[in-house]
Structures are given as C-alpha cells and as structure tokens.
Structure 1
Amino acid sequence: MSAITVVGIRGHRRVELFRAAAVAGGLGDPDVVDWREVCAGDFAIAPGSTIRLESPGEDAEVDRLLRGADEPAAHGEIVGLAEWYRGFLAAARRVERRATGPLLNPVGDLAVLFDKRRCHALLRERGVPVPDGFAAAGYADVRASGWPRVFVKPAHGSSASGVMALAFAAGRVSAYTSAVLDDGRLFNELRVHHYTDERQAAAIVDRLGADGLHVERWFPKAGHDGRVFDLRVVVVAGRATHVVARTSRTPMTNLHLGNARGDLAAIRAAAGPRRWTEAMETCERAAACFPGSLHVGVDLMFAPGYATHAVAEVNAFGDLLPGLLAGGRDTYAAEVAAMAVAA
C-alpha cells in the first residue's frame, strides 16, 4: 500500500505504538507530522499517503494552539472546550485539504464524534440503543428535566473530564465527578469527588454550560464482584475485536480514574452467549454510523440482569488499550492488519 502518515504528538505513546505495529505488519515506518506543525501550517504530507489522525490531547502547547489562547492552561484545567473543538476541526481540515490519499478517520466523522449531542442524535436516528438525552446550557436545564438521576457531560469533553453523575432524592443531591473548582477555576483530577452540596454541583455544571452540555437519563449499570462496570469495545473495520471491562465503586468507570479492569470472561459468561452477541452487534452498528473511520471505541453498558444494554459513548481515539490482545494482536496490530487487507 502507499506510505502512511500519522498526525499526532511526536514521541507520544499512541504514535509510537502505532508506528511499531505498522513496521511489524510490513507497512513500513510511518512519517509523523506533529499537531504543532499543523497548527502553524508548516507541514507536508507525502503524495498519496494514507493518513491517520491521532489524538492531539495531553499536550499543553497543542491545547493552547487549538484553543487560540495566549497562555497554556494550568495542568488539569478544564477551559475553552468549545474553542478546542473548533480549533481541532480546523486543524484536521487543514490536513484534509493537503491530503491526496485517504484519511483513516475522516474529519466529518470527527466532527460528530467530538460533539456528544450530535453523536447521540445520530445513534438514536440509526436505531442504536442509547439513554434518553437532551442538550442543556446549565444546571437549571438539568433540574427542569425532572429526571431523578442523570449524567451531565460536556458536549466536547473526553476522558470523563467534567462529567457528573447526579442524583436527586428527598431534597438531597448526590454528585460524583472528577471536576473540582479551585479559586474560580475548574480542574479535572485523577480521582472521583462526591458532592452533596447542591451549590457546588450547580457551580461546576454552570461553569461547563457555556461550552454546551449533553444530559442523559442515568442508565443503571450491571454489577460484577461488587463493582459496577461497562465495556470499552474497539471496533476495527466493522468488527468488534477488543473488549475490556471497566469496573468501579462509583458511577465513573474510566480506568485512568483509579478503576480496574474486570474479569471479562466471567462477565461474558454471566451475560450469556445470546446477549453478549447482541451487545457486540450493537457496538458494530454504532461503528457503522461512522463508515469512513477504520476504528472507533464504543462504551457499552449492560443493565442489571443483562436483559438490556445501551451505548454511552463512541470514541474516535478509543483504541489505547495496552496489553489487550485478541487473536494474538493488540488494537494497533489489528488496525494495521485491516489496512493491509484493504490495500
């Protein structure tokens, strides 16, 4: 096949893992273009090169450039999510305009995947089971829904940053989130906080509301071994290939928040063959909503008893699952193999 170009953060683990997989898979060592170069407009892409856009996250300077800010955000600060979204799409389109070969994750797909409101609406339209949801601008909108339990999500957030699980009962509020206000600034921490003061919860939600919110009715998650869980399912070239169970003692299951991988074999056995197959087919249907993307990461929730399930998220860059093998391949090797077949 043609040469491969990866647009990402040079030296980042994601980029290096994919490069190693490409070399091992016989596709050669990809060229790397850094997002900083894309933001500056000072980059070139080999003619006919197949292009993989990688996550621009976890780099303060790239974040600053995408937001068009004068100064970088403080470590962990949640700021300018709408500006980041617009800047990211503008940078991705800059790559698209210079490309003469295919993109493995088209900008049109990214525009939907990084807007939870649009993604949720598309999934529902295509018949993929999702929780009920609506767009909101602040805490008052959340309260006005009348729903007793909700998840409030920044429209353009990722990695659970700013996500809040809210429950209302008997005049009391219970809120779980990794976000914390500090001297008027909002930060994301690598642990989950529990708030029972409604004013604190409302202040966080309202702070995020300026950049847009997506609110979902709380879908109760199934439990296993005393912990709730959901599944991250990587779909490559239309097939659900890699699955990891993310377990937690709080409503937030993201692994980087101190949660743990669960016993997937036991969970699969508890679900049973029919329900497991149906769940994987749902993940593949969710991925089919983005037919131009080689891979996506689908977050799937089983209800208690496994009778029903729903999709919580679809992630453009949801394939960083080190050490997780399926058929002897990690996620990157599976993607490279799919590229080789398609060539």
Structure 2
Amino acid sequence: MTSLAVVGNPENRRVRMVAEAARDAGVELEVHAWRDVLHGGPVPGPGRLVRVDSPGEDAEVDVLLRRLGDGFSTEDGGVRAADHGEIVGLAAAHRGLAAGLARIASGGGTMLNPVGDVLTMGDKRRCHALLRESGVPVPEALPAVDGWESLRAGLRDAGWGRVFVKPAFGSSASGVLALAVSRTRVSAITSVELAADGRLFNSLRVRRYDSEAEVAAVVDRLAPDGLHVERWFPKAGLGDRVLDLRVVVIAGQPRHVVVRTSRSPLTNLHLGNARGEVAAVRAAAGPEAWRAAMRTCERVAACFPHSLHVGVDLMLGAGWRRHAVAEVNAFGDLLPRVLVDGRDTYAEEMAAIVDGRYRRWAAEAAGQAETEGQLCAI
C-alpha cells in the first residue's frame, strides 16, 4: 500500500480534503501538524511520500514561523502575534518556512514538492527570474526597489505608468497594489487597509487610494520585506469583467482550471469576485490560443520537475493573442467543487501517485530540464 504523510494544519479543510482523497484511493495517511513540527516534534521518516500543505490560516503557526525566521527558538518571545488580518513579517515567515521545510526534509521522506521548489514559488522575484530565464512568458519587471521614492524613480526610468506592486513573499493578494502613476496623479487599487497607526491589514473590500501620501505610506511599510514590481499586463475580459485563470498542473499535465473574474484588477475569489465559465473563455480565446496557454502551464511545471503539482496563475491578454504567467503557487491546488473526470485536484494527485504517472513524469521532466540547463536549484 502507498504510504503518504501530510504536514499541514489538521483543522484546515485542505488537510481534511487530502485525507478524504487518500482514503478513497487506498493510500495510507499520517498527519503531522505544522505547530508540532515547528516545535521540534517528529517528522515523516524514510519510505514515506511527504506532502507539505500550506501553513496559512493558523495564528499560532504564523507566530512560530516568524520566530524561526527572526532567529528565535519557537519557545522564545521576541515576536508578537499579529492582529486579525494584519500584514506583518512576510520575509521572516518565509525564512521560517525554509527552516520548517528543512526539518521536514531531514526526516528522509520523499518530498512531493521539494524544499527548493516551494521556496522558489513563494519568492515572487526568484520565481519570476526562473520563469523568464526558462523562456516562459511573464510581464516585464523593474529592478529592485526599496520604497516609494525608488519606485517612482524606477517607473520614470522605465517609462511605465501602470504596474502591479507585490510583496516578494505572500499570497492571496496580500499587500498587492494595482498602481497607476502620471505626472500629476497617483492612484492604487488594493485590498490593503491602512490603519491610523500606519499598520497594514488585509481586507475583503477592494478600495482605491488617490492620495500619494497614503500610497507612499503603504509601499514604504511593505518595502522592508521586499517588493516585486511588474508592468501592468492588460487582461482579457468577458462582459464587464476582466479575467485570469488558476490552472493546476498535476504530474506535468494541466488538469483543473478555474476562471476568476472581477470588475477590479484584483481577481482573487476571496475578494468577492466570481468564477467564470471555462467553456466561455475557451470559446472566446479560440483553440489555438487555448492550446498555447496550456502549453505554457506545462512549461511552468517543467521548471519544477520534482513537484507533483503547481498552481499557475495565467493571464490571457486583451484580444486573446497573448498570455503571461502572473505567479506560481506551491499550495495552489485548493479548488473546491472543480472536477475533471469526476476527480477534484486532491483525488487526481492521489491517482497520479498510485498509478505511477508522477514518478514517470518527474523522471522525464528532470532529465529534459537538466539537458536544457533549466533545472531549478533544489
């Protein structure tokens, strides 16, 4: 019997859905809680396939990650708990994730998404560079900026008026600004709430800032944790909504697709946006453009040839002739109620493990990537 261990937050629906898929596929499963692993508890041992799930949506785990990332032990004080929705310590949490993943890997299990892949996908600057070097279409990006003044200077030098400003670490549109700048005006559309004391919070309400002082305050608050700035890529739309895709690639094959539609530049579904119809998008794009977009998702997966699955955020361009990858997510396979051949993402992943597709694809993709000099550092 195939034996699988999952490291996650046991109360989270991700772990529950993985457990259901494992049971249905006849896969033996053991669950390790992130909080226990970060406190030095047991990790999966040799002979186990190891799935690492998102450490998010758990306040205690967030504190533990930031403590590790700031050089404290998990028993130290040193790091305060974030208030609900507060954007704080993104870089420290990423460093803590690196430490936690290293602990998991030290147990000798076979990581279904290896440490290097997870960390690369979680660093927007590093991931963008890897994709660009591998010939995957991505938006142009500015050189590193360290605050509002250097961002303004970078925009002037590039001659750009519209960009997306993204924290280098983070997900779910946390801290993202759709920024428009002219000689006389500045505006930003974002889900970030700027509190009176200068702290930043994630909000479920998308808002617009037209004050340069407020936009500068948000950017300067985010900058110490690292920023990634991409040129605005005009997205295709249907009706009065723009759209992009979340494509989950499993064992090298694009399988599950969600269309995310919005009346704002931010398409994340948790912001009150709506799912669109895949068939309608395929029809609007046409078969050639759709095939090209899915081939790009395959090329993204080939950049991470040891990862069972990757979540690709793919932007289809206005006019449907172009596309570009916005982000890649190591934990991007949570697509409730999206079925292909009767399977959700987790059931498809279990099937790929059990029937050997994952091992065959990983061996083929790794060999091809090594030949082409595109194997990402692990």
TM-score of the pair, normalised by structure 2: 0.88
Q: Which residue of 2 aligns with 1:16?
A: 16
Q: Which residue of 1 aligns with 2:120?
A: 112
Matches within 5 A, 1:274-313: 274-313=288-327
Q: Which residue of 2 aligns with 1:81?
A: 90
Shift of 1:315: 0.5
Q: Which residue of 1 aligns with 2:353?
A: 339
1:143 aligns with 2:156: no
> Matches of 1:190 and 1:31 in 2, distance apart?
34
Equivalences, count: 341
> Matches of 1:46 and 1:82 in 2, distance apart?
29
> Matches of 1:203 and 1:233 in 2, distance apart?
34
Q: Which runs of 5+ in 1 are unaligned?
A: none
Q: Which residue of 2 aligns with 1:199?
A: 213
State which of 344, 361, 365 in structure 2 corresponds to 1:330. 344
Matches within 5 A, 1:12-161: 12-28=12-28, 30-68=29-67, 69-99=78-108, 101-134=109-142, 135-144=144-153, 145-146=155-156, 147-161=160-174
State which of 238, 249, 252 in structure 2 corresponds to 1:235. 249
**1:164-209: CA deviations, max 9, x gaps?**
0001235111211111121221111112111111111111011000
Matches within 5 A, 1:218-257: 218-257=232-271
> Matches of 2:213 and 2:104 in 1, distance apart?
44
**1:25-68: CA deviations, max 9, x gaps?**
1213x111011111111124244111000000010000000001
Contact 1:63 1:84 in 2 (8 A): yes
* Root-mean-square deviation (Å): 1.1
Contact 1:173 1:198 in 2 (8 A): yes
**1:201-223: CA deviations, max 9, x gaps?**
11101100000000000000111
Contact 2:163 2:231 in 1 (8 A): yes
| Identity, % of aligned positions | 61
> Matches of 1:255 and 1:114 in 2, distance apart?
20
Contact 1:5 1:52 in 2 (8 A): yes
Contact 1:2 1:48 in 2 (8 A): no
Counterpart AA for 2:96: G
Contact 2:46 2:107 in 1 (8 A): no
> Matches of 2:320 and 2:98 in 1, distance apart?
38
**1:217-256: CA deviations, max 9, x gaps?**
0000111121000000000000000011000000000000
Q: Which runs of 5+ in 2 are unaligned?
A: 68-77, 360-378
The alignment partner of 2:152 has SS state of helix
The alignment partner of 1:314 has SS state of strand
TM-score of the pair, normalised by structure 1: 0.97
